[in-house]
Amino acid sequence: MNKKGHLYWLRRKLPDQKVLDRMDSLLKDLNLHTVCDNALCPNRGECYKNGTATFMILGNICTRNCRFCAVKKGVPFPLDPEEPYHIAQAAKHLNLKHIVITSVTRDDLLDGGAGHFAQAIVEIKRLLPESTVEVLVPDFNGFWEALQKIIDVQPEVINHNIETVSRLYPLVRPKATYKISLELLRQVKIRNKNIISKSGIMVGLGEEKEEVVQAMKDLREVNCDVLTIGQYLRPSPHHLEVQDYIHPEKFEEYRKIGRSLGFKYVASAPLVRSSYHAGEILRNII
């Protein structure tokens, strides 16, 4: 065993409770959610301390049943028409330079919530015209005219996570398909080649190295620009078990393979998440 202890690379210092309380107060005042809290992200203390957060729109109840995700599942509430403006207000209050917006999946909405995404981007650009915006979107059930609503308002980055390798989709994402997720990323570049496309995968779910490399190749086939790779961590006993804890050296190997395949940037480490250091990544490639 390494003298630092078993799985030392997954350890995090406890976040500053005052920092968490300040962010929680702001979110409560504006009736907002973050994926940082709802998905139990291990980096939320660090990000909140730096005045950053990934805002989650369309409420906080998802219509899908992905077996890795801590976000609540069930019947969502109606959309809050003030939510896009409140996102922009929060971003301005925090003086953010790069704003990341994600959402639950809303299969109950005709456009999957794409119009709400677009409105939030417009509001942010109006209040913070010098900022950049990244959206982490669901698959919209392959309805590309919904995706077009977001492309039309020109966020700098459109992210859609494939999450895992093709073989594991029925286990990990039973209401999603690998093919549709790849096609969404292809459509981004077809419809606006200047928007940076981004995706992410988790490892430790039982995938083989060859499958991870194939997923990278599949992403490059659809001209995906940026890749994030992180360790899957089980959020509760009701979720999928971790099959493997991947050593940091393997993550570095994946990073090098990804770069050799032509990604503009690869963030690969145990605690990397799709929005981790998103602003820094964007600055490195533009």
pLDDT value, residue 67: 80
Q: What is the mean pLDDT of residues 83-97?
A: 87
Q: Which residues pair with 132 in a beta bridge?
A: 98
- pLDDT greater than 50 at residue 30: yes
pTM comes to 0.87
60 or 207: which carries more pLDDT confidence? 207
Q: How far apart are the C-alpha atoms of 14 and 29, rounded to whole Å?
A: 25
Chain mean pLDDT for the chain: 87
Residue 94 pLDDT: 80
Angle of helix 83-93 relative to helix 114-127, nearest 10 degrees, comes to 40
User: What's the average model confidence in pLDDT over 178-193?
Assistant: 98
- Give the span between the Cα atoms of 106 and 61, in whole angstroms: 9
The DSSP 8-state label assigned to residue 39 in this structure reads T
**What top-level class would CATH report for the domain 10-285?**
alpha beta
Q: Could you give the CA distance from residue 214 to residue 167 in angstroms, rounded to a whole number?
A: 11
| Nearest-angstrom CA–CA distance, 48 and 35 | 12
Say yes or no to pLDDT of 38 above 50.
no
At CA 139, angle to CA 193 and CA 61, rounded to 5?
Answer: 135
Max Cα separation, the chain? 55
Cβ neighbours of residue 224 under 8 Å, at least 6 residues apart?
A: 185, 197, 198, 199, 263
pLDDT at 19: 52
Question: Confidence class of residue 181 from pLDDT cuts 50, 70 and 90?
Answer: very high
pLDDT at position 5 is: 57
Query: Cα-atom radius of gyration of the chain, to the nearest Å?
Result: 18
CA dihedral 224, 226, 227, 228 (to 10 degrees): -150
For the cut 90, the answer to whether the pLDDT of residue 246 exceeds it is yes
Q: Are 56 and 50 in contact (CB under 8 A)?
A: no
Range with lowest mean pLDDT among 94-103, 108-117, 143-152: 94-103
- Using the predicted structure, report yes or no on whether residue 158 has a pLDDT greater than 80: yes
Q: How many CA atoms lie within 13 A of 257 on its CB side?
A: 19
Extract the runs of DSSP E, i.e. beta strands, from the chain: 33-34, 54-57, 61-62, 72-73, 98-103, 132-136, 157-159, 196-203, 226-231, 265-268
184/146 Cα distance (integer angstroms): 11
State residue 3's pLDDT score.
Answer: 45
> In this predicted structure, which of 25-39, 179-193, 199-213, 223-237 has the lowest mean pLDDT?
25-39
* pLDDT band for position 60 (cuts 50, 70, 90): confident
Question: From the CB of residue 131, how many other CB atoms can be counted at a distance below 10 Å?
Answer: 18
